Amino acid sequence: MNPRLADKIVLVTGIGAGDSGRIGRGAAVACAFEAADVWATGSAQDALTPLQGLPGVAIRVADITDPHRLTALLDDIGEVDILINVTEGNAPNSAAPELDKDALDLAWATTVQASVPVIEAFLPVLLKRGGAIINIAPPAPDDPDTGPNLAHETAAAALSGFGASLAARHDGVRCNTVRPGRLGVGSVESIAQACLYLASGALITGQTLTLGPGAPA
C-alpha cells in the first residue's frame, strides 16, 4: 500500500506538556509513518525529546506566540503542505450553570487566540501548495461528574467555527477541526488517525470530527 503522505511536508505545532504533548507527538509519529517529512515544534525541549532521532521527524523548540520565533520557524521550514495545530486549552473547571470569566478568557487565549499567529504566518504557503490545516481542540476535561466545562466547550466550539470560516473563505486550503473527548486508552492513536484521514482527504473541508467519551454530541 502506498504511504498516504509521501512527499508531503507536515508541521505539527503546540507540542507541550501533558495532553498536548501526547497528542502532538502521536500525530507527528503517525505522519512520519506515512512517509511525510515532519517538523515537530513546541516551546519546551522536554516535550520534544521523545521524538528525537525518529526517521522523518525534525524537532524545533519554538514559541509560536512569539512573532520573531514564528518568523524564524517559517524561514527554517520554507514549504508546508499540512499544518497540524495542537491547542493547549488549560481551562480550569467551569461547570454549568456557573461561568467563570477568567476561565473563559484563559480557554479563549490558549485555544483560539494562540492559533491565529501560526495559521496567519503559514497560510500563504499553504494556499500556494493547496495545503491543509487541522486544528486539534483540547480534550474534554477528565471530570464527567461536574457536567460540561463551559469555558472549554465554548473555546472548542469557537475553534471549530474559526476553522469552518477559514475553509469557506479560502478555496486553496482545506481546514478541519478535531475535537477529542476525554483521553483514555487508544485515544491518542485515534486522534492521530483522524489527522491522517483529514490530511489525505482531498474533498473534506470545513468539518469537525468529534472523538471519544466526553466529546460533544
Q: Could you read off the pLDDT of 45-72 as tens digits, one per residue?
A: 999 999 999 999 999 998 888 888 888 9
| Mean pLDDT, range 104-124, rounded to an integer | 91
Residues in Cβ contact with 217 at an 8 Å cutoff, skipping those fewer than 6 apart? none
Q: What is the pTM of this model?
A: 0.92
* Alpha carbon distance 26, 17 (integer Å): 13
Question: What are the grid coordinates assigned to 69, written together?
Answer: 520565533
CATH level 3 topology of 9-211:
Rossmann fold (3.40.50)
Neighbours of 108 (CB within 10 A): 17
Arithmetic mean of pLDDT over the chain: 88
Domain spans in the chain, listed from the N-terminal domain onward: 9-211
Residue 55's alpha-carbon distances to 7, 13, 36, 43, 172, in angstroms, are: 14, 18, 10, 22, 30
